[in-house]
Structure 1
Amino acid sequence: MIAVELHQLLRSRRTWVTILMIDSLPTLVAVLLGVTEVGPRPGTGPAFLSAVLTDGTLFPLAAIAIVLPLFMPIAVSIVAGESIAGEAQQGTLRYLLVRPVARTRLLVAKLVSVMVFVLLTLAVVAATAYVTGTLLLGDAPVAATTTVSGTTLTQQELILRTLLALAYAMLSMFGVASIALCLSTFVDAPLGAALGTLAVLVASTLLLTLDAADSIAPYLLTRYWLAFVDLFRDPILWRDVVRGALLQVVYVAVFLGIAWANFATKDVKD
């Protein structure tokens, strides 16, 4: 079942068009920075963007910071929201369940497909950003790459921390996917699941800007999304990274549990 879902994902033109659209923004930013050589002031704009004019190897991290708050969540919400509700809307869900396929197995297959989409997107964004960053932006040697704290990183340290940042970003999107997949088991329209997930994200982002919501801020879905920046401090500040990872694990466990409980007993009529 998982192989079938992955095959459909990789063969879908929409998958690659979506990835291309997400990848186009950081690529455009790299071109503009390379042409104008004018970047944001330190401390402003997406993380690492002010440093890439002198060190293009950091642009993959800036690219992740560009797409993570908005574009990736939208794409994940749509893809995950369509996973079950899309089958119901097309009338194929009933036929899938008629086969000797356990509902839990189908749910797992859909989730794996969504996370492979996230992995593909992040890999393409990071790879493209590395190429454009090294070609168009700062050409400092990799061994001289600096941390946010101003110390230098070796090539091995840079690769390891970048992989950790990618894993953290993927875990953050795992939380989004679990919410969208959960809503997808309750509704028969993919748009409803996607919009519901986006409503949660917008509410979380808005509440983080309100002082009155300080007491619940540590528990909001988007609170620690950009904590991967702390992986590039010296020494690494693990506090928010660990908190963010644990928070996403809780969201994933809760919403996937609800999705499984609902889907396992759902009466599929169409």
Structure 2
Amino acid sequence: MTLSVDASPRISPGAGWALLASELSVLFRRVRTWAMLLALAAVPVLIAVAVKLSARPAAPGRGPLFLDRITQNGLFVAITALVVCVPLFLPLTVGVVAGDTLAGEANLGTLRYLLLAPAGRIRLLAVKYAGAVAFCIAATVTVVAAGALAGVVLFPVGPVTLLSGDTIGEVESLLRSLLVAAYITVSLLGLSAIGLLISTFTDVPVGAMAATVVLSVVSQVLDNLPQLEWLHPWLFSHHWLGFADLLRQPVSWDSFLDNAVLQAGYVAVCGALAYGRFAGKDILS
């Protein structure tokens, strides 16, 4: 027996904000959410401890970007951790949250009750996506904060030499780290939209999560194949590690804008497809 829900119910002005507040409250009260954030926070801590306990410093060009600079300045721990987290750890956690947006509600049998609330399907989709975006922000900020703390505790801290050779102070270097975190947050917006879209096709959240994570891996693999160079600019992961221009003086915003335009395209296309699928879907649970 299907539940017939009006796709365009009468919407009260504050319904959307109340639904968003509820979504964020539920998301950040989950043990799973905090477990993933703690796992992300552990990455910079492990990097810092490993470098601190190492008998010899990392050789330039070996290991992740900026690893060899950590012993001279602990502020590089945060940037190195972001480089390490971008290919797998951040997409993994974002894929879990994005894939669970609608499929999780359907699996629990609460989706039809959400649709009975005077918010409308399009607003429910927007709220679910906003929740995924909030997690993206929390995830990248967690990595930066844990990295900065570990770096300050275990290593000397001082002025930072940028890729352009210019030197900036500690406060500005922290601001640059947050700017890199913002870049990576934008990079994950397309993946979040893909996860939302996949979540509209299934009532099994684990399947949506796995599919989202697998697509992030496939995109990165394709981006490393020179035979598919024509395809690279269209892959949502193409600009994920393109934040080097933010570590120069003056800052070049070209890569940031290119990345933002690409992610906006994925958000628009996947959002439209998600609404097209969700608007006419019979809700059984």
Give the match for residue 36 of structure 2. 18
Moved more, 36-45 or 15-24: 36-45
Question: Deviations 1:66-94 (Å, cap 9, x if unpaired)?
Answer: 11110110111111101101111121111
User: Which of 76, 95, 116 is the equivalent residue of 1:98?
Assistant: 116
The answer for the alignment partner of 1:228 in structure 2 is: 243
- Distance in 2 between residues matched to 1:258 and 1:45, nearest whole Å: 40
Amino acid of the residue matched to residue 123 of structure 2?
R
Which of 132, 138, 154 aligns to 1:114? It is: 132
User: Residue 82 of structure 2 corresponds to which residue in structure 1?
Assistant: 64
User: In structure 1, what is the equivalent of residue 67 of structure 2?
Assistant: 49
| CA-to-aligned-CA distance 1:67-126 (integer Å, 9 cap, x gap) | 111011011111110110111112111122123231122112211211222222222221
- Three-state SS of the structure 1 residue aligned to 2:98 is helix
1:255 deviation in Å?
0.9
1:248 matches 2:263: yes
* Partner SS state of residue 44, structure 1: coil
Distance 1:37 1:114 in 2: 41
In the other structure, the counterpart of 2:141 is 123
SS in 2 for 1:222: coil
Which has the higher mean CA deviation after the structures are superposed, 157-166 or 21-30? 157-166
3-state SS of the aligned residue for 2:49?
A: helix
Any conservation in 1 of the 2:186–2:259 contact (CA below 8 Å)?
no
The aligned length equals: 267
Q: Which runs of 5+ in 2 are unaligned?
A: 1-18
Q: Does 1:30 align with 2:48?
A: yes
1:167-182 residue pairs with structure 2 within 5 A? Answer: 167-182=182-197
The alignment partner of 2:82 has SS state of: helix
What SS does the corresponding residue of 2:75 show, helix, strand or coil? helix
1:39 offset after TM fit, Å?
A: 4.4
Query: 2:99 is matched with which residue?
Result: 81
2:10 matched residue in structure 1: none
Q: Relative to 1, partners in 2 of residues 1:98 and 1:229: Cα closer, same or farther, differing over 3 Å?
A: same
CA–CA distance in structure 1, aligned partners of residues 118 and 251 of structure 2: 49
Asked if 1:262 is matched to 2:280, the reply is: no
Distance in 2 (CA, whole Å) between partners of 1:238 and 1:158 is 17
The amino acid across from 1:223 in the alignment is H
TM-score (normalised: structure 1): 0.92
What does residue 201 of structure 1 align with? 216
Q: Supply the distance in 2 between the matched residues of 1:3 and 1:222 (Cα, whole angstroms).
A: 30
Aligned counterparts of 2:127 and 2:182: Cα–Cα separation in 1: 20
CA shift in 2, pair 1:162/1:208, >3 Å? same
Percent sequence identity over aligned pairs? 37
- Normalised by the length of structure 2, the TM-score is 0.88
Which stretch shows the higher mean deviation, 78-87 or 88-97?
88-97
SS in 2 for 1:206: helix
Q: Give me the whole-angstrom Cα distance separating, in 2, the residues matched to 1:22 and 1:131.
A: 14
Q: Which residue of 1 aligns with 2:15?
A: none
Q: Distance in 2 between matches of 1:199 and 1:39?
A: 35
Q: Secondary structure at the match of 1:252?
A: helix
- What's the offset of the Cα at 1:18? 1.1
Aligned partners of 2:62 and 2:233: how far apart in 1? 23
C-alpha separation in 2, matches of 1:41 and 1:237: 28
Tell me: CA distance 1:38–1:182, structure 2 relative to 1, closer, same or farther (3 Å): farther
C-alpha distance in 1 between matches for 2:256 and 2:21: 33
**5+ residue gaps in structure 1?**
none
Structure 2 contact 144–177 (Cα < 8 Å) conserved: no
Q: Is the 8 A contact 1:146 1:153 kept in 2?
A: yes
